[in-house]
Structure 1
Amino acid sequence: MRIAVARESDAAEPRVAATPETVKKLIALGAEVVVDRGAGLRSGVLDTDFEAAGAKIGENVAADADIVLKVRRPSKGEIAHYKKGALVVAIMDPYGNDDAL
């Protein structure tokens, strides 16, 4: 199972959907974890921190992931690039976003 930690598209969002500790736990469960380059920078987490935890770093890592981790709901444009059937784990914020439901 491939799990992607996607970079947040909103420049005002300082959080990242996983930490190096989370990555270690997911890998221990048998998952392959890939992290978008720079995904943790606004949270003070470097790519090298994720790599040290066992993750691979890349670009557009959500494109072929089975599970996509994000803090905020992905945009329609982002979703269009996800693998069909991928599970998205994010704060979906349905209020005022009826067409997203």
Structure 2
Amino acid sequence: MAIGVPAEGEDEPRIGLTPETVKKLVKLGANVTLRSGAGQRSHFADSDYGAAGAKIAKTDAEAVADADIVLTVRRPTPALAKSMKKGAALIGMLDPFS
């Protein structure tokens, strides 16, 4: 199973996965790809995610392109949604009323 985590917008400090959770998912056999800098506002460095077993992508599109599951806090931009592969599941709070 492939899991993708894009960066959130400038006004969102949270991230879809912590390095600790990445480590657990990788141990279960998941492939996790995270956008470079995605955890920065949550005080997690790319090196923390890399040490936990995540691959670091240069762009959001690259982070989600092959993902079976995309984890996000806020709803994705239209461009990000188009980058997701057909049939991928999107998991997040999504904030439908804003």
So what's the TM-score if we normalise by structure 2? 0.90
Partner of 1:84: 86
Which structure: larger Rg? Answer: 1
Unaligned 5+ segments in structure 1 are 97-101
- Where has structure 1 moved over 4 Å in runs of 4 or more? none
So what's the TM-score if we normalise by structure 1? 0.88
Structure (1 or 2) with the greater strand fraction: 1
Partner of 1:34: 33
Kindly report the root-mean-square deviation, in angstroms, between the aligned alpha carbons of the 2 structures.
Answer: 1.1
1:5 partnered with 2:37? no
Unaligned 5+ segments in structure 2 are none
Aligned with 1:71 (options 40, 56, 73): 73
Identity of aligned residues (%): 52
Partner of 2:15: 16
2:40 and 2:97 mapped to 1: Cα distance? 29
